[in-house]
Structure 1
Amino acid sequence: MDDGVDDCVDDGAHDALLTIGAFAARARLSAKALRLYDRLGLLAPAHVDEATGYRYYRAGQAERARLVALLRRLDMPLARIAEVVRADGDRAAGLLDGYWADVEARVAGQRTLVAYLRGRLSGRDSEVYGEFVVETVDVPEQVVISETRHTLASELPAWIGASLGRLEEAARGCGGVTAAPYVVYHSDVSMESDGPAESCVPVADGAAARAWSEERGRAWQTRVRVEPAGRLAYTRITKAQVAYPQILAAFGAVEEWIAAHGLTVAGPCREVYFADWEAAGPGDPVCDVAFPVN
């Protein structure tokens, strides 16, 4: 049922108003879509008849209607569309760029996950693992300030970012950060298992770090400890590959390499974050997936 009878109504003082049916045809949208956009505040009618409830639009609103429809073709959520259409010029374009960067990051991660799952389903895991280059590196003894938490995989990325941020801020008063921050997994972290995980930042001044932990670190379960010198077997991965469960392929590749080379795992696995996460793109290397080995 259309909201109006006539295609056009003259309001006397303003441009002619179009019925929802006539406006839908001009904007190449359905009346149902226009009603939805109205309910969500994306495109309100220029006039609503108080007696009948019929909606009327001006011809000049067609451009905004088409913009909303085009953004929907990008699978953009309606809430984000509202932000774009309410913004002006460069800000609107920037919001679009931000959304598309998120899409590309998600697709890059999904592409990695598909390759991993294809290998598992076909029984050719080794082919997937072969895409990772595994090496070893000797690391010196380090004093680290750390924060430990039980967390599920869905909560892990936010916690890693927040905890490393807190620890790096603390490290500035402890002689500074001396090596790349890392996260140790003392037990499995998945959608069902909550670890715990431990964020670690190497610092120069152990005494200052202990003083900070005693004074301000209790709320975050922080502690200071010495990480012994040792050897790590690791593979370098991109930002897209860090997401769970895509990262499982990297862990599997390192474990297979360790077994194939007659080595033994000497401690819990870890992720070493050596790059600027915010500045990195989906294909940029940001992290080493590593196991201590003997």
Structure 2
Amino acid sequence: MKITTVIPAYKSKYLMELLACLVHQSEPPSQVIFSDDTPDFAFAKVLYSEPVKSLIAHLNVTVVEGPRKGAHANWAHCVNAWGGRTELLHILCDDDIVYPLFYEQHRRAHMAGTFSSTVSRRWYANETGQLTRMALEVPEVMANHPMRWHALDAKTLFTSNVTRGANWLGEVSNVVMRAETALLVRERQQVGISFAGLEDLGSFVCGAMTNPVCFINEHLGYFRTSPTQNSAQTMGMPLKLAHLAYITLGIIGRNMGVISAEEAHKCVEAVTPAFLWHYRGEEDVRHFCEVLPQMVARVPGAESLFLQLWSEFSK
């Protein structure tokens, strides 16, 4: 099985670290595609110049011009640039790092069964790449299990992530996807309901409705933290979308028969207090702040109103 790595590229200051982690893979991906979203083609200038061009020749690197329309547009552009040419796809964010056995372990896991995605554990690092004592926390039963690989179905993933308003799977950099899951990242919707804001988690759990996810109980990379990234901007649009997308994923899971109505309601109960705490005074989400308590109270028609608001807000 072959893996294509696509990189939605914007932050060029980490490029040399990124190339180093790819060059030192025990089993490199079959091709690497950069979608250069910088205004001055900063990635292309380096990648197509010597000595870098010769040093990375074995990685089969291609650079395509990015859409310059935001993060998700570049993710979608990466998926389109890949175009299904290999069985597996890895979206590697330009500030994250994967360790030398990353592709070998993920490919082996995919060859062991039919999985929608393979998900490995990861460390956190500071902006300079120095590892911290923190890692993405996973359920204790998973962390302490003696087996290295675990097959997880959609029910397990929805109830341990979505209904709690949590995400222990991570994001695209620590996941290798089959084609059908990669397309979910691009489309970011299921049964006509968007999960914009949680394109990563939404694709993983919805993909598991078709085939299970294989969890690899090894730390095979790190997530670089920075005060400028979206997850650190509490009042920004990406996090507003992410909060609300947990609720839409709960509705999707219920509508698809993966979780019960009561389990979907737990998601509303989990997300609403945090959403109101952060955003009660924000004009752009004022109507959500009004309708969410109604959903918690099970007021008839509240969910329909929420979905109408969401349809516009998530465009």
Determine which structure has more spread, i.e. the larger CA radius of gyration. Answer: 1
- TM-score when normalising by structure 2: 0.22
Which structure is higher in helix share?
Answer: 2
**Which structure is richer in relative contact order (CA contacts within 8 A, separation 6 or more)?**
2
